[in-house]
Structure 1
Amino acid sequence: MKLLRVPRSIGESQPNPARRMRLLATGMLLAMAALFIAARSTVHLHPAIGFVQAFAEAAMVGGLADWFAVTALFRHPLGLPIPHTAIIPRNKDRIGDTLALFLRDNFLTPAVVARRMRGMDVAAAAGRFLASPSAGDGRLREGASRLIADMLEALDQERLGGMVKGAIGQRLRGINVGPLVGQAIEAAMRDGRHAPVMDGIIHWADRTLEANDHLIRQMVHDKAGKLLRWTGLDENLANAIIDGLRKMLAEMAADPGHSLRLKAEEGMAKLAFDLQFDIEMQAKAAQIRDEILDNPAMQRWIDGLWEQARGGLLRAVRDPGKAMAGRLGEALRQLGGTLQGDARLRHVINRFVRRAAVGATATYGDAIVRLVSDTVRGWDAGTITNRLEGAVGRDLQYIRINGTLVGGLVGLVIHTVDTLF
């Protein structure tokens, strides 16, 4: 019949090796006590037993002293409120502050980070991985992919999506579209790329006139007097207007130097100039930009853009091999080869990474220090006691064992000297 193992309490965090060492140290102390009682009872039988008694007596003293010292670090020995005991629980806040200062002074200073990263070639390492991803550690790549996918899925998508979409909208609203559109129009006119647009507008106007000539006829008929309607001249007038407009559009389409066409180009040039240099026109362009961004259709488009980007990123990290096999993989491999072959580019990237790390340390180093300090302060005394005792408890029990043995040897030496002299 197999006995069920009783689970350890939730608050107990010491691993089994530390517990075994504690039992061993306590067992040695009890063994020395039993040996002392036995030697004391039989010391009259032979002088050599006195040496055993001295060894056991001193070993008990050494073991008890070290037990008291080790126990006093974490709790009150035997539950008695002896002064200067339970040192770690009473000073956990100071320990947290000291640990935070240690991290800040030795790891989270810009000078230390810059010195550590000066010899790191991040760009070359990234280039080797991108150029030959199959040669890297597959488990590392798959583990990193799973970690990124889990992080993306674990994050609050409403909040994360809102942040991303808000950032996109804020970025678009921060663009001064007037000068950009003005420069685009000016460049198009300078290279003659506006001519097809102008031809398209003229052809569109001709088709629109042909499809809606009945509206012009109806308008002339309604505005004409009774005499014109009675004589039928309203129909002739409408035909003349329609034919004149068609002829004008045909001439504009056939003659790039037509006066109306040149007038339209002059208006386009003025619009391009005003968009670049007229504050009032730039304000109107910004208003149009904001109205477009506030349109529900645009908001749905941004939503779809975020969902497509998130879905594509998830597919890529879930199957990095497939992602690296497509055009993206080819582009990344080319980038990796460029990074390996271009020393100047590597230098620029490494300098950027180093400056980014130093800047992040300078900006967020104090925040990390405060996080460590506040975290330790937030722990209750039992938590920090169990965690520290679990981390170093095995070595502390060695102190007790060594104290028992060293104390016994010292007692044996003292007894020997006292016997001989």
Structure 2
Amino acid sequence: MRRVATGLLLAMAALFLFARTQTGVHPAWGYVQAFAEAAMVGGLADWFAVTALFRHPLGLPIPHTAIIPRNKDRIGDTLAVFLRTHFLTPSVVARRMHAIDIAGALGRWLAEPSGAASATRLRYGASRLAADILESLDPERLGGMVRGALSGQLRRLDVAPLVGQALEAAIADGRHVPLLDGIIRWAAKVLEANEHLVRAMVHERSGAIMRWTGLDETLSSKIIDGLDKLIRDMADDPAHPLRAKAEEGLARLAHDLQHDPDTQAKVAAFKDELLDNPALADWWQGMWERMRGAMLRAVRDPDALLGGRLGEAMAQLGTTLQEDPLLGRTINRFARRAAVGAASDYGDAIVRLVSDTIRGWDAATITLRLENAVGRDLQYIRINGTLVGGSVGVLLHAIEAAL
């Protein structure tokens, strides 16, 4: 469109020059010359006006030109105030939210995930939107933010009393017995797998006479057999004294976790040391990448996501949302209050984001974006100015000829 508008202006200049050479041939050429002359004036004037909005015409620092680049900060502030005044006020948001049935729309979508074309478009649109959001966010930064939030919550959490209460409740209900049985089975496997270490230790600590007579092997076998019998007795006898000692130790640990400051301090120090361990950060980063990958795979395939029991549960929830008016009103009221609260609490922050973003743009960026946003209409102004100017020139020439 720039080329069309500029080409029309050049055509008027050529027509003007040609008409000047034909003025004595016929009176009509006077009208043609007047049209072309006035069209050039109108086209040049509108070219100057359009160009002056965005830059200095011909690069000359003419006063009151390059209006938008010079006033971009004021434009950003004005736009932010306009948004805050007319869009992000609680009354406007509440009025708009009253006309929206959030619960009904959600219920229809959940109850018929594969039904109407609009529901299908909504599902796939929401899927693409969620995927685009997940892909656009910096995975390392987002993972660091989530890890930092979890780490902060864990650092503020007093873990020892919670663990102590859970352990005390488990002992009272007998849920610690499988744990002891598991420890005993683990001890039996460890002894079986490390018999050679016991024999090697006894052999190294035995004297030359014991090794010469083979008593070290006999002693090693006795030690291993004794330990094995002890473990089997503990596994077979729930009332074994060592099991009783272990239960007593667990009960004492549960009490100390809840009431002993030294034990609580040790648990807190261990927790902080664990949270500061780089290996935990690496583990969490890998876990976050797997979670993010799973979420991306899920949102990219909404049919698979809504299949199976999850799909059935969501369909049932959708039916309930449509058939229970009290639940629907409650959800709509919650959504309305949430939107109004967000507008009230974060409206200033949102408009400040708009203002600060525009302030952060360089003059060339905002000029290009606004010029492209207005687009072809700017060039139509130039074309219309050329044609209207020419028409006015013909009218003036006609009046002059009549007088």
TM-score for the superposition, normalised by structure 1? 0.64
Contact in 1 for aligned 2:43/2:383 (Cα 8 Å): no
- Deviation of 1:361 after TM superposition, in Å, equals 3.3
Deviations 1:213-272 (A, max 9, x none): xx9xx9xxx9xxxxxxxxxxxxxxx9xx99xx99x96998359xx9x95x8777656644
Structure 2 CA distance, aligned partners of 1:163 and 1:251?
Answer: 50
- CA 1:176–1:80: 2 relative to 1, 3 Å: closer
Structure 1 CA distance, aligned partners of 2:169 and 2:78?
Answer: 60
Give the aligned residue type for 1:27.
A
Paired residue for 2:354, among 351, 364, 368?
368
Q: Show the counterpart of 1:100.
A: 76
- CA 1:307–1:326: 2 relative to 1, 3 Å: farther
Q: Show the counterpart of 2:160.
A: 178
Paired residue for 1:309, among 277, 291, 307?
291
- CA 1:22–1:276: 2 relative to 1, 3 Å: farther
Deviations 1:200-225 (A, max 9, x none): 489669979x999xx9xx9xxx9xxx
The number of residue pairs the alignment matches comes to: 371
Give the aligned residue type for 1:100.
G
Corresponding position: 1:129 with 2:109 = yes
Contact in 1 for aligned 2:35/2:393 (Cα 8 Å): yes
Structure 1 unaligned spans of 5+: 1-15, 44-48, 223-237
Corresponding position: 1:408 with 2:384 = no
Contact in 2 for aligned 1:92/1:377 (Cα 8 Å): yes
Contact in 1 for aligned 2:46/2:381 (Cα 8 Å): no
- CA 1:202–1:415: 2 relative to 1, 3 Å: closer
Give the aligned residue type for 1:60.
E
Give the aligned residue type for 1:395.
I
Contact in 2 for aligned 1:109/1:362 (Cα 8 Å): no
Contact in 2 for aligned 1:186/1:272 (Cα 8 Å): yes
Q: Show the counterpart of 2:308.
A: 326
RMSD: 5.2
Corresponding position: 1:19 with 2:3 = yes
Percentage of identical aligned residues: 32
Paired residue for 2:37, among 51, 60, 66?
60
Contact in 1 for aligned 2:160/2:257 (Cα 8 Å): yes
Structure 2 unaligned spans of 5+: 207-222
Corresponding position: 1:70 with 2:47 = yes
Q: Show the counterpart of 2:238.
A: 253
Q: Show the counterpart of 1:352.
A: 338
Deviations 1:36-82 (A, max 9, x none): 76456544xxxxx5xx7468537733650452243244169984948
- CA 1:118–1:385: 2 relative to 1, 3 Å: closer
Structure 2 CA distance, aligned partners of 1:140 and 1:111?
Answer: 25
Give the aligned residue type for 2:348.
A
Structure 2 CA distance, aligned partners of 1:73 and 1:414?
Answer: 31
- Deviation of 1:184 after TM superposition, in Å, equals 1.9
**What secondary structure, in the 3-state scheme, does the structure 2 residue paired with 1:346 have?**
helix
Contact in 2 for aligned 1:316/1:322 (Cα 8 Å): yes
Give the aligned residue type for 2:41.
L
- CA 1:298–1:154: 2 relative to 1, 3 Å: same
- CA 1:182–1:314: 2 relative to 1, 3 Å: same
- CA 1:270–1:412: 2 relative to 1, 3 Å: farther
TM-score for the superposition, normalised by structure 2? 0.67
**What secondary structure, in the 3-state scheme, does the structure 2 residue paired with 1:112 have?**
coil
**What secondary structure, in the 3-state scheme, does the structure 2 residue paired with 1:107 have?**
helix
- Deviation of 1:321 after TM superposition, in Å, equals 1.7
Q: After the TM superposition, which of the residue ranges 126-135 and 143-152 deviates more from structure 2? A: 143-152
**What secondary structure, in the 3-state scheme, does the structure 2 residue paired with 1:102 have?**
helix
